[in-house]
Structure 1
Amino acid sequence: MNWTDYPDRDMLALELAEVLADALVTALHHKDRVTLSVPGGTSPGPVFDALSQVHLPWDRVDVLLTDERWVPESSDRSNTALLRRTLLTGPAAAARLIPLYAPTPEPEESLDTLSAAIAESLPIDVMLIGMGADMHTASLFPGADRLEEGLAEDAPVLLPMRAPGAPEPRVTLTAPVLRNAMDIHLLIMGEEKKSAVERAATLPPAEAPVACLLGEARIHYAD
């Protein structure tokens, strides 16, 4: 695996933000618009804080979450709302957000519309992704109801996913979309997640979904 270790989390956030910014600038030299895909949750917050202040042509960047809980932005569980507070501020406020949520009771009712908008911005040019201690990535959870479909080579762009312990449905980019990103960066922090990603490398994706990305990802780690 391609590892980069950092002395502490502050240094990881600053240097990873610089890595992502450089990757975006390189991609923008070759394309009029580029797609940056990022995870939800609080772990990448410091990276987003630093990246959002970088001056680059953000008006040519489409930002896409790797997954989202099926809740409105008014919910404190909304990754979209969190992203607006962390990444889509300062210079980065000029970026275009591609939604992963629509105001319908169930994700199946909006899946076609959301998928069509995402497909126009694929493949992903630069992707930051996370991993849970259970070795899930995006909302590809071990034991999720449509995990097998989400891992398949012919998977659709976007799938609804319901998993044990998840209080609401989610939508997630599928394994082929994630794996086909041009530049993949996996963020992990803490010994528990380090051990989990090392274990995932020995398991099939059906047991450790993050395994589907480990061959292509650069792993950024701080304790």
Structure 2
Amino acid sequence: MFNKHIFASRPELDQAFAEQVAAQLQSLIEKNGKASIAFSGGSTPKGFFAALSVQDIAWDKVTVTLADERWVEYEDNNSNTRLLTENLLTNNAKVARLFSLKRDGALDADNLAKLNQDANDGLLPLDIVILGMGEDGHTASLFPCSAEIEQGLDQQAAPGLLKVVPTSAPFERISFNFSALIQASHLYLHLVGDNKMAVLDQAISSKDSMQMPIRAFLHHDVKTVDIFWAE
């Protein structure tokens, strides 16, 4: 299930989205004493990050992470951990806790096991998840081209992280699986531009999630995805 929220401009979207997410984070903190949120990377959320970073909430009670990450060093321009740190974890949000998906060394079985242990011990279930979507309908690093797509979308799998090696995009990836992402009490899809709206329309038209993984979220029988879009 999904709801569309359409905005006249990207700055209007960024501000409204930041205020809504901040209010939900603060409500979760007041209820549970803490809150967690997973973001998607790329250029789309930069304005949203800036607007969210100045919201006046108890950021020291918030754990911030990514829905997925490229396995590259922090200094690399392709690092979404760097993007998040430089654009969100500033201003009021600089005191938030970062749960980094990138660790030293190779993305091997040992690192993956340690990441899953740490996520299960102190992060999951996630409270808020903000997804993005690629032109091929992938979300997080659940790529339809990857050998790991069935594992990533398996609704019976335990919530956690998996290694993904897409054939249509560079870099090894670490990604939360569908089971972990769908647990969120608040689930969003953040999109901008006419091209992404066209991809969204295609995703809505069918339920074949192996072809377009975002469909697993949009057509879920119980959870609702709030779509925030501006041209």
TM-score tier, shorter chain, comes to over 0.9
Q: Quick check: 209-218 or 88-97, which moved more?
A: 209-218
- Quote how far apart the aligned CAs of 1:107 are: 4.1
Q: Quick check: 108-117 or 75-84, which moved more?
A: 108-117
Decide which of 195, 205, 208 is 2:212's aligned counterpart: 208
- Quote how far apart the aligned CAs of 1:212 are: 1.4
Q: Distance between the aligned counterparts of 1:151 and 1:105, measured in 2?
A: 24
Question: What is the aligned partner in structure 2 of residue 60 from structure 1?
Answer: 61
- Quote how far apart the aligned CAs of 1:106 are: 2.6
User: Is 1:43 matched with 2:51?
Assistant: no
Q: Distance between the aligned counterparts of 1:171 and 1:219, measured in 2?
A: 24
| 8 Å Cα contact 1:38-1:129 kept in structure 2 | yes
Question: What is the aligned partner in structure 1 of residue 161 from structure 2?
Answer: 158
Question: What is the aligned partner in structure 1 of residue 137 from structure 2?
Answer: 135
Q: Distance between the aligned counterparts of 2:56 and 2:135, measured in 1?
A: 34
Question: What is the aligned partner in structure 2 of residue 14 from structure 1?
Answer: 15
- What secondary structure, in the 3-state scheme, does the structure 2 residue paired with 1:30 have? helix
Q: Distance between the aligned counterparts of 2:115 and 2:17, measured in 1?
A: 29
- Quote how far apart the aligned CAs of 1:26 are: 1.4
Question: What is the aligned partner in structure 2 of residue 219 from structure 1?
Answer: 227
Change (3 A) 1:55 1:96: same
Q: TM-score, normalised by structure 1?
A: 0.96
Cα deviations by residue, 1:102-138 (Å, 9 ceiling, x for unpaired): 1112343301111122122211111211111111100
| 8 Å Cα contact 2:145-2:168 kept in structure 1 | no
Q: Distance between the aligned counterparts of 2:83 and 2:229, measured in 1?
A: 22
| 8 Å Cα contact 1:178-1:213 kept in structure 2 | no
Question: What is the aligned partner in structure 2 of residue 148 from structure 1?
Answer: 150
Counterpart code for 2:64: V
Q: Distance between the aligned counterparts of 2:65 and 2:108, measured in 1?
A: 17
Cα deviations by residue, 1:20-45 (Å, 9 ceiling, x for unpaired): 10111111121111111101111101
Counterpart code for 1:221: W
- What secondary structure, in the 3-state scheme, does the structure 2 residue paired with 1:209 have? coil
Q: Which consecutive aligned stretches of 4+ in structure 1 deviate over 4 angstroms post-superposition?
A: none
- What secondary structure, in the 3-state scheme, does the structure 2 residue paired with 1:154 have? coil
Counterpart code for 1:212: A
Question: What is the aligned partner in structure 2 of residue 189 from structure 1?
Answer: 192
Q: Distance between the aligned counterparts of 2:29 and 2:131, measured in 1?
A: 21
Q: Which runs of 5+ in 2 are unaligned?
A: none
Question: What is the aligned partner in structure 1 of residue 85 from structure 2?
Answer: 84
Q: Distance between the aligned counterparts of 2:115 and 2:92, measured in 1?
A: 26
User: Is 1:104 matched with 2:105?
Assistant: yes
Q: Distance between the aligned counterparts of 1:168 and 1:109, measured in 2?
A: 19
Question: What is the aligned partner in structure 2 of residue 121 from structure 1?
Answer: 123
Change (3 A) 1:53 1:107: farther
- Quote how far apart the aligned CAs of 1:13 are: 0.7
Q: Percent of pairs identical after alignment?
A: 32
How many residue pairs get aligned? The number is 223
